[in-house]
Amino acid sequence: MPKRLPIRDIVSGLLSSLGTAIRYWLHYTVVAFAWLGIVPLTACRIYRCLFTGSVSSLLTLPLDMLSTENLLSDSFYGCCIVTCTLCAFISLVWLREQVIHGEGPDWLGPDPDLVQHPDVAEDAAGAEHAAGDGNGVVGAVQPPGPVAEDAPHADAPDANNGAQDDVNWNPIEWDRAAEELTWERLLGLDGSLVFLEHVFWVVSLNTLFILVFAFCPYHIGQFAILGFRLKEYVTASQFEGLLTALVGYVVAGCTLVLLHKLASLALLWRTQRLLGLCYVVVKVALLSVVEIGLFPLVCGWWLDVCSLTMFEATLSDREASFRLAPGTSMFIHWLVGMVYVFYFASFVLLLREVLRPGLLWFLKNLNDPDFNPIQEMIHLPILQHVRRFLVSLVIFGTTVLLMVWVPVRAIQWILPGFLPYHVTISSDTPTQELSLELILLQVVLPALLEQGHTKQWLKAMVRTWCLAVSYILDLRSYLLGDVPLTLANEAGGRENNNNGNVGAQNIPPDEGGAGDIGEGSRQQEAPLAAALPGSDGDHDAAAEARAADVDEHGHEEQANNEEEEGDAGFQRGVLAAAHQALLQGVVAGGGSTVGFQAYKKPSLFPLRIALLLVLICISLTTASLVLLTLPVFVGRLLMSISLGASTAAVVPTVTTVAASTAGGAAAGAAAAAGTTGIGVASTVVGSGRVHEFYTTACGLYTCWVLLRFLTLLCSWLPKGWNAIMAKLRSWLLISLKSLMAMTLLLGLIPLLMGLLFDLIIIIPLRVPLNSTPLFYLWHDWALGVLHTKIICAITLMGPNWWLKRVIEEVYHDGLRNINLYLIVTELVLPVVEALGLSLTIPYIVSCSLVPVFGATEEMQNLVLRRIYPSLLAICVLTAFVVFQVRQFCRLYEHIKNDKYLVGRRLVNYEHRRAPAFVAPPPTAASS
């Protein structure tokens, strides 16, 4: 092998590598053009052609495909359309799996009695095997919850009349593709041209989806709207296309219901099942839109309407903003509604950990492993979903009234000058906008996600409230379930628990009341959208019927225990509810029912429950009133103290209430007599008011620190003052170390990072050469915090090097084992050294070395303003050149090895040899 390669070999190797690179570049360019150009452009322009509504657009479609106008916007819209069609396809496949595994509702398949006896009346078929979906298809009452019905029984074969193929035929059980595709082969990243066929199929399927799921429903809805003369109302809604498509889906669902009924009457099993599957798809799609889209949107708008006074806004302002940007307004209200529904569901989960099992029977348990919302959408009838939706709106709307509207009115009456809150997002200065974004990203979002101590405090507060209410109303057994039963009932309860009866007596529903039975039977039912509450009349009737049936079988045991337990005052009908829970399969391994617990029923029980509801309303209003006033009040007070009197910060002041009405006159008279009203104005800084995000965050964190200190003090008091002082000393030392580390890591490094970013990017782009740049340290620090977090995230996701090792070590040490020496020596000093050199060396060069060569002031200013981005470009170019040199060295070695290397010999490995056997020297006799 020669020491140096000939020039010819190097050039030939470079040309071959260059040819390979050009070939791959062309292939990947074609792949990118196909998937990011042809597919979205075709989707967008076909969509536009179909919805234009003219024949000329259809005739000019081939020319529109080749048009180069609006390429970027059409590609973006096309990507959105392709994404929607892809999501629709995945949803259909998933829904197919749900129908197959859940076996579908009973009415989806044919009736075995009708198959065996074709002359049976259609009325009997509808009464025995229809699982009513609430729209006239069938009329029988469906069992509660998404419990799989006897669909295999509905598809039973019939050997007498040869209808086995018709009965067992399922149009959605098609065979899967024989060839398993990888993403590389599907997208064409493996170097083959098979992806062109996939592009063709994607374009074809995308066109088919647009035609079936968008074009047809839209025009059906358009005809329906014109027929019902609702065109003006739909146009005024600013969402004409969406509403028209939804109306089309509703009309299509009703049509499928009618056709399904006709097919069942005509005994067309395949047609009936196919129409039923199409109806299930339409039904699930509409219910998903209602529960995921419409319900949070209504909650968000209702929250906004109830809080208008809190922000000094009116309905006309909201209407103007809606007309100005309808999509943005709807999205913001939907997002607010989703956050509200999420926290409502989280609070319900917290209540389940404190309250008696079975108390919240009307709310769905989201932690239930058997909870499947899609199965509920498939099985439960439409009328039941509508009833749940309306009940949920009532409950959520009432909660918003109690927690927003009533407290706001109370604040206006008690503290007239406290409202409104100043929450204007836009500002004249970019610094305030950036600071607000920093608060949202660094304070609000982490506070929404981190709920450790808050959850424990809420549980403690809920339990304390329950204990207080239980003491007043004698409902501790009903609320908490921790009151032991009497001795006789304990013995009976233990015996019944061994039989799975939850230790309670069995009373028929007509004696104990439907509500007692419903507590065990209806706890499996709830609306879909995030534990939405709702009661169900149909399911209640079915539960009572099944409970009555259970009572018939257990009548003897009831008669034996009725006299013994009737006077104890315990809940009646508990055993029937427990048996119903057993029928629904909610049974623990030990034989006791999960999710239900018996309780003692005191006298005047309905009156006590009514008083409990009143106390709940009062408590919700009071808690909301405190949360709306206390943090803001504390934050405003601290802001006014910290910013000083020169900032015109207004703290709680004594004001005279204006006497404009009768109540106002009384208040004015009281003020004249010496009684004064308390008014709190918002904090004003300089010429503008401080955003309430700052005051609220400051007040919340102050209250949190005080509560945390009090809880820790209460937990340490039993240990004695010596232990408390030792703990305080240790935590004081940890606090000092943490404060120093935070000052360096969250103060100095972000400030240097933001200042460097300002000098390299922002000032060269935004400040002309004849202007003087102004540096806002707060603005630079805010930018530096964001950039520091991004760099830390990229470092932790990247390869192993010293910075990643140090950050991981600091993270694993935690707060209690904080190593300040490690942080300062191995993290802060190297980073500050690099950032400091990057800031100071260019400044020294431009301000000290350049004037030595006699440069003018304009040249010095030019050098000073352009040296930072120039040095960045030089560093990037240097890194690129070093990378290319390394690549060339690797290529050189590769060419040399391919041309001259025949094989490799291992020279640094010595095999461990076994001790050699030394033969004895030959003897003279042998020789």
Q: What is the pLDDT of residue 656?
A: 34
- DSSP-assigned beta bridge partners for residue 677: 655
Residues 140 and 35 in one domain: no
Q: Does residue 679 sit in helix, strand or coil?
A: strand
Domain end point (choices 168, 185, 210): 168
Of the candidate ranges 342-351, 554-563, 733-742, 886-895, the one whose mean pLDDT is the lowest = 554-563
- With residue 147 as reference, give the H or E element that holds it: none
672 or 262, higher pLDDT: 262
Q: What is the pLDDT of residue 392?
A: 92
Structure tokens at 537: 């009349």
49 or 585, higher pLDDT: 49
| Ramachandran class of 384: left when φ > 0, alpha when ψ lies in -120 to 50, beta otherwise | alpha
Residues 109 and 71 in one domain: no
How far apart CA 798 and CA 800 sit, in angstroms, is: 7
Domain contains 247 = no
Q: What is the pLDDT of residue 351?
A: 92
pLDDT tens readout for residues 706-728: 888 888 888 888 888 888 888 88
DSSP 8-state assignment for residue 570: B
Structure tokens at 10: 């190097």
Beta strand spans in 606-692 (E): 653-655, 677-679, 684-685, 688-689
pLDDT tens readout for residues 295-312: 999 999 999 999 999 988
Q: What is the pLDDT of residue 110?
A: 52
Which string of DSSP letters, residue by residue, matches 15-40?
HHHHHHHHHHHHHHHHHHHIIIIIHH
Contact 830, 745 (CB under 8 A): no
pLDDT tens readout for residues 570-604: 444 444 444 444 434 433 333 334 567 888 888 99
Q: Does residue 731 sit in helix, strand or coil?
A: helix
Task: Decide if pLDDT at 214 tops 70.
Answer: yes
Contact 278, 256 (CB under 8 A): yes
10-26 mean pLDDT: 88
155 or 329, higher pLDDT: 329
Domain contains 837 = yes
Q: What is the pLDDT of residue 225?
A: 92
| Ramachandran class of 821: left when φ > 0, alpha when ψ lies in -120 to 50, beta otherwise | alpha
The type of residue at 247 is V
Task: Decide if pLDDT at 499 tops 50.
Answer: no
Please list the alpha-helical segments (H only) found in 401-486: 406-414, 430-439, 445-449, 452-473, 476-479
pLDDT tens readout for residues 402-443: 999 999 999 999 998 888 888 765 554 444 445 555 555 665
Domain contains 19 = yes
901-916 mean pLDDT: 58
How far apart CA 927 and CA 923 sit, in angstroms, is: 6
Q: What is the mean pLDDT of the chain?
A: 75
67-71 mean pLDDT: 84
Cβ within 8 Å of residue 865, ≥6 positions away? 763, 764, 767, 769
How far apart CA 150 and CA 104 sit, in angstroms, is: 9
How sure is the predictor about 287, in pLDDT bands with cuts at 50, 70 and 90?
very high
pLDDT tens readout for residues 733-750: 998 999 999 999 989 999
> Whose structure tokens read 């008011």?
689
> Whose structure tokens read 């910013």?
643
Residues 30 and 119 in one domain: no
Domain contains 309 = no
Residues 466 and 585 in one domain: yes
- DSSP-assigned beta bridge partners for residue 587: 593
Task: Decide if pLDDT at 137 tops 50.
Answer: no
CA nearest neighbour of 655 among 643, 639, 670: 670
730-769 burial, b at 16+ Cβ within 10 Å, e below that, comes to: eeeeeeebeeebeebbeebbbbbbbbbbbbbeebbeeeee
- DSSP-assigned beta bridge partners for residue 654: 678
How far apart CA 502 and CA 52 sit, in angstroms, is: 66
Task: Decide if pLDDT at 783 tops 80.
Answer: yes
Contact 505, 628 (CB under 8 A): no
Residues 16 and 153 in one domain: no
Cβ neighbours, 10 Å, residue 774:
8
Structure tokens at 55: 């024949």
Of the candidate ranges 57-71, 139-153, 416-430, the one whose mean pLDDT is the lowest = 139-153
Domain contains 80 = yes
Residues 112 and 70 in one domain: no
Task: Decide if pLDDT at 869 tops 80.
Answer: yes
Residues 111 and 37 in one domain: no
> Whose structure tokens read 């809604």?
237
Q: What is the pLDDT of residue 269?
A: 86
37 Cα distance to chain centroid: 32
896 Cα distance to chain centroid: 56
How sure is the predictor about 51, in pLDDT bands with cuts at 50, 70 and 90?
confident
For the chain, give the percent of residues with pLDDT over 90: 33
Please list the alpha-helical segments (H only) found in 798-828: 802-813, 820-822
Q: Does residue 797 sit in helix, strand or coil?
A: helix
CA dihedral (345, 348, 350, 352) in degrees, to 10, reads -140
Domain end point (choices 618, 635, 663): 618
Residues 403 and 536 in one domain: yes
Q: Are strands 677-679 and 653-655 parallel, antiparallel or unpaired?
A: antiparallel
How sure is the predictor about 514, in pLDDT bands with cuts at 50, 70 and 90?
very low
How sure is the predictor about 187, in pLDDT bands with cuts at 50, 70 and 90?
confident
Q: Does residue 482 sit in helix, strand or coil?
A: coil
Structure tokens at 199: 């592009």
811-819 mean pLDDT: 88
Cβ within 8 Å of residue 48, ≥6 positions away? 57, 64
Task: Decide if pLDDT at 770 tops 70.
Answer: yes
833-854 mean pLDDT: 91
Count of domains forming the chain: 4
Q: What is the pLDDT of residue 875?
A: 92
CA nearest neighbour of 780 among 740, 817, 753: 753
Q: What is the pLDDT of residue 572?
A: 42
- Integer-rounded Cα radius of gyration of the chain: 38
DSSP 8-state assignment for residue 120: S
DSSP 8-state assignment for residue 483: S
Q: What is the pLDDT of residue 675?
A: 34
Contact 341, 299 (CB under 8 A): yes
Cβ within 8 Å of residue 432, ≥6 positions away? 688, 691
Residues 877 and 824 in one domain: yes
Task: Decide if pLDDT at 336 tops 90.
Answer: yes
- With residue 293 as reference, give the H or E element that holds it: none
CA nearest neighbour of 43 among 83, 5, 10: 83
> Whose structure tokens read 């934050």?
635
How far apart CA 135 and CA 254 sit, in angstroms, is: 8
Structure tokens at 507: 């009373």
Structure tokens at 442: 């660094």
Structure tokens at 379: 């099985």
Domain contains 269 = no
DSSP 8-state assignment for residue 500: T
275 or 533, higher pLDDT: 275
How far apart CA 214 and CA 423 sit, in angstroms, is: 40
How far apart CA 375 and CA 131 sit, in angstroms, is: 14
Residues 111 and 95 in one domain: no
854-869 mean pLDDT: 89
Q: What is the pLDDT of residue 751?
A: 94
Task: Decide if pLDDT at 134 tops 80.
Answer: no
Domain contains 661 = no
How sure is the predictor about 449, in pLDDT bands with cuts at 50, 70 and 90?
low
Contact 209, 85 (CB under 8 A): yes
How far apart CA 137 and CA 130 sit, in angstroms, is: 8
CA dist 827 → 451, 805, 821, 833 (Å): 30, 10, 9, 10
Widest pairwise Cα distance in the chain: 144
Structure tokens at 773: 């740049």
> Whose structure tokens read 């982490």?
446
| Ramachandran class of 516: left when φ > 0, alpha when ψ lies in -120 to 50, beta otherwise | alpha
Q: What is the pLDDT of residue 897?
A: 80
How far apart CA 543 and CA 546 sit, in angstroms, is: 5
Domain contains 155 = yes
How far apart CA 592 and CA 95 sit, in angstroms, is: 35
Q: Does residue 12 sit in helix, strand or coil?
A: helix
Q: What is the pLDDT of residue 190?
A: 83
How sure is the predictor about 910, in pLDDT bands with cuts at 50, 70 and 90?
low
Residues 98 and 134 in one domain: no
Beta strand spans in 767-846 (E): none
Task: Decide if pLDDT at 111 tops 80.
Answer: no
Q: What is the pLDDT of residue 633?
A: 92
Backbone torsions φ then ψ of 158, nearest 5 degrees? -125, 115
How far apart CA 879 and CA 877 sit, in angstroms, is: 5
Structural domain including 56 reads 1-102
Residues 462 and 595 in one domain: yes
Domain end point (choices 67, 83, 102): 102
- With residue 545 as reference, give the H or E element that holds it: helix 537-553
Task: Decide if pLDDT at 128 tops 60.
Answer: no
How sure is the predictor about 696, in pLDDT bands with cuts at 50, 70 and 90?
confident
Which string of DSSP letters, residue by residue, matches 133-145?
-SSSS--SPPPSS
Q: What is the pLDDT of residue 52?
A: 80
Cβ within 8 Å of residue 126, ≥6 positions away? 138, 139, 140, 264
Q: What is the pLDDT of residue 149?
A: 36
